[in-house]
Amino acid sequence: MKLSDRLKSGTKVYSFEFYPPKTAEDTAKLFNTALELKALSPDFVSVTNSSSGVTPYRTVALCGVLKAQFGLEIVAHLTCLAHTRTEIAEICSGLKKMDINNVLALRGDPHNVEAGARRSEYSYAAQLVADLKRDGGFSIGGACYPEKHPEAPSLEADIVRLKEKVDAGAEYLITQLFFDNACYFKFLDKAAAAGVRVPVLPGLMPITGYKQMQNFTKMMQVGVPDELRRGIERWDGDKDGMFKFSVEYASRQARALLAGGAPGLHLYTLNRSKAAMAILKNVKTAI
């Protein structure tokens, strides 16, 4: 399945995101999560790739296992800052051998690139998108930021960069997580006005604690609406209460996004299944 074709069908698309585990224990937990989430029939799962340059083959291997042993459709993340074009070609060859034909093309975070690992061949995701397009065989996606990339001077400037990715061949976009739907719909309007007219899957994640909320606000520069902030503060320290509140908030957010025309939902799982399952079940029950 090519995700671009699936999105063109007009049917809502539901997906989950995983990251490569580092230990045998974490691997077992992830595979259990994958089994549980497979029962919800996701259209695909994505697998992240660190920009450090040391883990791309872990990503490729995990993609292969999730596809071959679990029967899941895969979108493989591919970062480029720490790779040469030759290395990117090798990684893509490995994905194709596993019959994985969906890639999310990313620049990667400079602060995650180990000293001496950064190469000079790539500076922007649009360059990677262009190479993947020339190589052929992949449905290519890109990332976008409803509240702008933290490095961008403005949302408008960020959208200029985004259009470069789409013009280079990105066929769909997946957003950074956000908690205020108004940001998503405002972003869609601005992007469309700038000529960005590809499907944009909203990315959602329930907040599990006050510290996590602070991290999102500081590191990712993601806004936290007052209602959500008050709820997190109220239930901080109460694990069950926090879970229930966060799932209910994310479920309402998800239903409103779909009602407003979003092409589907992309749920950031942190390799756990409970919250993602609850949210998607709530959403599908309401449809």
By CB neighbour count within 10 A (0-12 exposed, 13-18 middle, 19+ buried), where does 87 fall? middle
73 given a catalytic annotation: no
Closest CA to 211 of 246, 237, 176: 237
Q: Which of 17, 73, 147, 171 is catalytic?
A: 17
CA dihedral 90, 92, 129, 276 (to 10 degrees): -130
The one-character DSSP state at 92 is H
Closest CA to 203 of 171, 227, 228, 173: 173
Total residue length of the chain: 287
Structure token digits, residue 257:
């996004």
Q: Tokens 């602060």 correspond to what residue? A: 111
Strands in the chain per DSSP E = 13-18, 44-47, 74-79, 102-106, 139-144, 172-177, 200-204, 264-268
- Interatomic CA distance for residues 80 and 96, integer angstroms: 18
Task: Name residue 152's amino acid.
Answer: A
Coil, strand or helix at 1: coil
The one-character DSSP state at 114 is P
Task: Give the side-chain half-sphere CA count within 13 A for 108.
Answer: 28
- Interatomic CA distance for residues 170 and 126, integer angstroms: 8
The residues annotated with a catalytic role in the active site are: 17
